[in-house]
Amino acid sequence: MTRFAAPIAEQIWDMKYRLKEADGTPIDLTVEDSWRRIARALAVVENDPKHWEERFYAALEDFKYLPAGRITAGAGTGRQVTLFNCFVMGTIPDSMGGIFDMLKEAALTMQQGGGIGYDFSTIRPKGAPVAGVAADASGPLSFMDVWDAMCRTIMSAGSRRGAMMATMRCDHPDIEGFIAAKSDSARLRMFNLSVLVTDAFMEAVKTDGSWDLQFDGVVYHTVQARDLWNKIMRATYDFAEPGVIFIDRINQANNLNYIEDIAATNPCGEQPLPPYGACLLGSVNLARLVSNPFGAKAALDKAALADLVRTAIRMMDNVVDASKFPLPQQREEALNKRRIGLGVTGLADALLMVGLRYGSEEAARQTEEWLHLIARESYLASVELAKEKGAFPLFDAEKYLASGNMMQMDDDVREAIRVHGIRNALLTSIAPTGTISLYAGNVSSGIEPVFAYSYTRKVLQKDGTRTEEEVVDYAVQMWRDTKGDTPLPDHFVNAQTLAPLDHVRMQAAAQKWVDSSISKTINCPEDISFDAFKDVYMAAYESGCKGCTTYRPNDVTGSVLSVSEKDEKTPAETPALAREAAGGDVIYMSEPLDRPQELEGATYKLKWPDSEHAIYLTINDIVVGGHRRPFEVFINSKNMEHFAWTVALTRMISAVFRRGGDVSFVVEELKAVFDPRGGAWVQGKYIPSILAAIGGVIERHMVAIGFLEGEGMGLKSDPQAQVVNLDNAPRGKACPSCGQYDMRMVEGCMTCGSCGHSKCG
């Protein structure tokens, strides 16, 4: 009998979390083996490993506690990977050498899979003088382009990578360029962007005051604060970026504000961190803790929740000691403060099960109560760990109790900390849980509402065909199992039917008892007015949120994709970055596809007369929209005279293929290359050059996979008349992992509803 609540859950486990040999042979034969692997790895540091292994296993069992993906995939594998999700890098020096030292550190961190954040406010603005070289500075955005290229390179090497967050202060002279950067769809694709908004700026916005843009004490420009605010809002309204981080509030609420200053966050914004700060994540699954769901006495089992939280805190504290770190500074920072981020998932499902409408005042009160319980138990568990293992090294009772969120903590908890200390400086955070939520049976993500009650997912088979399966929200499936065909009650709501201010209400309710921050998306209707849109951000600020991320579908960010549901038809949002011609073989994209982890292809041997060594061409394909198309080429030869041009061809042809569209012109251009030294006869046909021979191999491959009709012929079907979006055609970016048009903005990050792939790692 399987432990998985849905087929997609088992598929996610097999694809992302199951330990396998290098050749793909499973080591974890069952999900119980995965739980055992994680439990054993995190119990090794205990004095009684066997006892704690069983406790940890019980917490993991049936998906009650969900360590973040890096822990689930990496713990107990013996691999040189970090188990930490989030890193904010060191402060970028305002010097060329310092900038590129930071670039190297970023590359090393991303190579191990960490998501990183940087504050680019420390780099002098464009046009500022550079002493000693008689030149002007190129500004922080030019260096962000360099970071972006680095991330693309790490990605192309096939490494698991995290995303990047770039922040800039609202008073930096280049802030207007930063705000507008994402209006160019091809620029800074590897970054999420957020503006660091100060309290002084917000007050100037309210009073329509002036605002100085300055660097190193020099005022470069003076603008109207409200005009600058409107530029931020307009860019977000049109392009969904930049986000907004209320940085003064973050620093004021930080338990460690007496020893650190925060100016950046991890890619999804839930972890504000100091230079070299690191944090690991995990979530308790509230949907698994409701007793008598949908019944008259439905309630969250608070005793079970308290016990689960205490075990989870101990497990997460052990991760600090078990993990590898890309940089020694990150290890030192983690050990000195032992920061962890315990959050929740399945909140919306739990609310549905107890009869509450997500976004209502009653649901907000219940959310605050549950999060308060989690905060209390987290801090008390950390106190118990401090008694046993010692407080975090930089703990100072007097300063700690007088800082940040500790000022509002319950008196008995404060007294326990005063007497015994605390093991972890910060303990709670609500992170994106898209993939682990699918793994847990498609429970609602984090504190987000249910995205869609159900939808049809196309599953890619080994032969390139696709089968369809229904993916149902966990609470909806439970309703069906217990109530049969009874219609869903009125309190069932989803992301598309909620008013934006209902989202804000829920985020603010959760934020009160979360000592770090929250990754959440506030869905806004496409027809929301600009003024109403701005009100969402002001409401988030006034209600105590630490940041705000919205998503409004439009022609740039994306339109709607129909979601098939048994109980109700609901739109699901995806960004319109691609267009699929109905029934066609060709997809036209405004940005290149990302590389999936695995591709199928073929390798061809090309022997050119009078050449000592053969050339080998490997052509890999991707299946998008049910059709196979070439995705990348690798050209290799032992002949070192060929090295430079084969590398160049490999990169250029692969870049063209990843852009999509009619790439058959590559074949025609290569076949037309004439070598003035003469060609050769190959298999009874005259080939004018070795490049033409390569073109012929690529052509034969395109014919074999059905992309071209035949040699010297055109596309299998001509989509030119239907490139512009059709009313019934799916619109949105194809998932780089599974090819489905099911990318959606969830918890501040583009996430695939079909396979769980996330831009944020």
H or E element that contains 221: strand 218-224
DSSP code, position 404: G
Q: Which residues contact 25 (CB under 8 A, 6 or more apart)?
A: none
**Is 270 noted as a catalytic residue in this protein?**
yes
Residue corresponding to tokens 């007793």? 291
Q: Radius of gyration (Cα) for the chain, nearest Å?
A: 27
Q: What per-residue confidence (pLDDT) applies to 79?
A: 86
At 506 the pLDDT is: 97
Distance between CA 232 and CA 212 in Å, rounded? Answer: 16
Res 559 pLDDT > 70 = no
Q: How do residues 198-249 score in pLDDT, each as one tens digit?
A: 999 999 999 999 999 999 999 999 999 999 999 999 999 998 899 999 999 9
pLDDT-derived band at 672 (thresholds 50, 70, 90) equals confident
pLDDT at 589 over 50: no
Contact 741, 575 (CB under 8 A): no
Provide the pLDDT for residue 320: 96
The mean pLDDT value of the chain amounts to 86
Does the pLDDT at position 149 exceed 70? yes
The 3-class secondary structure across 325-380, one letter per residue, is CCCHHHHHHHHHHCCEEEEEECHHHHHHHCCCCCCCHHHHHHHHHHHHHHHHHHHH
Per-residue confidence at 157, pLDDT binned at 50, 70, 90? very low
d(Cα 532, Cα 500) in Å, to the nearest integer? Answer: 9
Cβ atoms of 345 and 370 within 8 Å: the answer is no
Please state the length of the chain. Answer: 761
Collapse the DSSP code of 715 into the 3-class scheme (helix H, G, I; strand E, B; otherwise coil) and give the result.
strand
The tokens describing 145, both together, are 């382009």
pLDDT at 583: 34
Which of 85, 254, 255, 266 is an active site residue? 266
- What average pLDDT does the segment 549-561 reach? 69
Q: Are 89 and 117 in contact (CB under 8 A)?
A: yes
C-alpha span between 233 and 293 (Å, rounded): 41
N- to C-terminal Cα separation, the chain: 31
The pLDDT score that the predictor gives to residue 31 is 97
Which residues have C-beta within 8 Å of that of residue 288, sequence separation ≥ 6? 62, 63, 64, 346, 440, 443
- pLDDT value of position 713: 65
| pLDDT confidence band for 658 (50 / 70 / 90) | confident
Note the pLDDT tens digit of each residue in 599-651: 889 999 988 887 777 889 999 988 776 678 898 999 988 877 777 888 888 88
Percentage of the chain exceeding pLDDT 70: 87
Q: What confidence score (pLDDT) does residue 575 get?
A: 29
pLDDT at 625: 63
The answer to whether the peptide bond before residue 242 is cis (omega within 30 degrees of 0) is yes
Look up tokens 């000022």; give the residue.
407
More confident residue, 674 or 144: 144
- Residue 565 annotated as catalytic: no
**How far is the C-alpha of 84 from the C-alpha of 208, rounded, in Å?**
43
> Residues 732-756: what's their mean pLDDT?
70
**For residue 523, what are its two tokens?**
């869905």
Q: What is the pLDDT, as a whole number, of residue 721?
A: 29
**What tokens does 187 get?**
């620029």
Residue of 53, 105, 241, 270 marked active site: 270
pLDDT for the residue 629: 86
Nearest to residue 106, comparing CAs of 154, 56, 38, 173? 154
pLDDT at position 611 is 73
CA dist., res. 356 & res. 8, Å (int): 27
Mean pLDDT of 12-40: 94
Hey, where are the domains in the chain? 86-249, 598-722
Catalytic residue among 268, 548, 735, 752: 268
Q: What is the pLDDT of residue 456?
A: 82
The pLDDT of residue 727: 36
Distance CA 683, CA 591 (A): 39
Instruction: List the one residue out of 318, 281, 393 whose CA is nearest residue 47.
Output: 318
d(C-alpha 130, C-alpha 319), whole Å: 44
pLDDT tens per residue, range 52-90: 999 999 999 999 999 999 999 999 999 888 899 889 999
Pairing of strands 627-637, 680-682: unpaired
Q: Rounded CA gap, 404 and 475, in Å?
A: 36
**Residue 497 three-state SS:** coil
CA distance 658 to 653: 9
Q: What would the pLDDT profile of 698-709 be if each residue is shown by its tens digit?
A: 999 999 888 887
